[in-house]
Chain A
């Protein structure tokens, strides 16, 4: 479905008003694919019938469901594996030294979808138990999608989901079979907390030492992207780290962060960000 069509434009506007995310032309194909099940379940007359029902404005549950389905939920375990290695050897190594006094780390996965990113991090900590013995590690995953957060909290993944990015040895070490699915073990699950949150809103209680915000900001307008960067900067410790998606950068989008010259793919709060927090 093209965004030239009035129904698609209505849905794109609905998504943007509710979440700040844009439904660009190159994602407009998602309209038919994502909304097909809703249209079938409710016996509506295609996208046109769905939009007509939404315009009536008497069905907030339908509206919420449509918005949820239009969001991109793509994720998998250890997505962009080199980034996780870099986080482990550079960011976590630095933070292990910098937080040796408090022995506490707070990590925020902003836009965590169904939780694989958070559980990937939980596995990194669990597998380096000796290094982190006696530490309190807070892993907080947030997403604007309530259905994704519900799934993240459940920690149950299909055989297709569990096999994407996750080596088999880690799968059988940290997950238990649950009929045809795989359920995260308690020792991993207990490390993670999830909540519904929009990256454009004030951040959950910080400061955080490490923030993952990958493949989320690309769906925002430049102005909202700047706003999101400001939210993250305000929530990140002055010596913390920001991790963006592969190919994403801060250049041209914000002055609050700069690329870490010593760790490719990681970003650090710029001096301006520290002043902004102090103000």
Chain B
């Protein structure tokens, strides 16, 4: 069973994502911000991180850079999942090392498709 860490400061989003991911046979963990997510990855690296952009304490972009610096192995795939849907944000995320990008709102088909593209589904 593949593992996914859902990182979002919204409990509702985490709940929705968890529900979808569990129907896709993922074992799901949750984090409310980037710092919490980084700590999780250093202890147990998931197969994929579903990452919000705007969060308190540590943003999604800060997490992504810190993940690179922390040399977590094996490095999880990182899929941004955010309302920041502009081209500039998407390009910045890819340049920073994100593997895929989900524009909110999302549904099961979107999530399943993006997880297939990064090879974890």
Contact = CB atoms under 8 A, between A and B. Distances in A.
A167 B91 CA distance: 13
A163 B86 contact: no
Chain A contact patch, size range: 10 to 19
Q: Is the interface of A mostly helix, strand, loop or mixed?
A: helix
B86 A164 contact: no
A169 B110 contact: no
B42 interface: no
Interface in B87-121: 87, 90-91, 94, 100-103, 105-107, 109-110, 113-114, 116-117
Contact of A163 (B87, B91, B94, B106): B106
A171 B114 CA distance: 12
A146 interface: no
A185 B114 CA distance: 22
A168 B101 contact: yes
A165 B113 contact: yes
A2 interface: no
Interface in B42-62: none
B117 to A, nearest CB: 5
A163 B113 contact: yes
B91 A172 contact: yes
User: Of A160, A167, A168, A169, which is in contact with the most chain B CB atoms at under 10 Å from its CB?
Assistant: A168
B9 to A, nearest CB: 22
Contact of A159 (B86, B103, B114): B103
Given A159-B103, A164-B110, 18 more contacts: A81-B116, A163-B102, A163-B103, A163-B106, A163-B110, A163-B113, A163-B114, A165-B113, A167-B100, A167-B117, A168-B94, A168-B100, A169-B94, A171-B90, A172-B87, A172-B90, A177-B85, A177-B86
